[in-house]
Amino acid sequence: MEKEIVRFFARAEGRVQGVGFRFFVQQNAAELGLCGWVRNMEDGSVTMEVQGAAKAVEALWNKIWQGNGYIRVSGLETQAQEPSSGEREFAIRY
């Protein structure tokens, strides 16, 4: 049975800058076997593109909503994208 590969653009709001959020997302995405990127935005939000097995992406969203002692997400908007070929890792963009 083949895993469905999905890709999403997402925008997280809340306490997501200056609290290690990008590293948190990168670490959890890598553990789940996902690829893509995450980046801080000037308006205080964080955007990302996440690609991989649908269940793994859903697991990442759950981890993002949970956060940790520092991270508090108050909003997470997601939008489906076309999967991209050739991407192998999850990067922090600056």
- Confidence at residue 3, expressed as pLDDT on a 0 to 100 scale: 78
Cβ pair 24, 37 in contact under 8 A:
no
- Report the alpha-carbon distance of residue 61 to residue 48 in Å, rounded: 12
Active-site residue, 40 included:
yes
Report the C-alpha gap between 52 and 30 in whole angstroms.
Answer: 10
Residue 73: pLDDT over 50: yes
- Look up tokens 């269940």; give the residue: 55
Among candidate residues 15, 22, 72, 93, the one labeled active-site is 22
- The active-site residue, picked from 11, 15, 39, 40, is 40
Query: Rounded to two decimals, what is the model's pTM?
Result: 0.94
15 is catalytic: no
Summarize the confidence of residues 38-46 as an average pLDDT.
98
Q: What is the pLDDT of residues 2-29, one digit of tens each?
A: 579 999 999 999 999 999 999 999 999 9
Cβ atoms of 36 and 60 closer than 8 Å: no
Residue of 90, 56, 77, 81 lying closest to 14 (CA atoms): 77
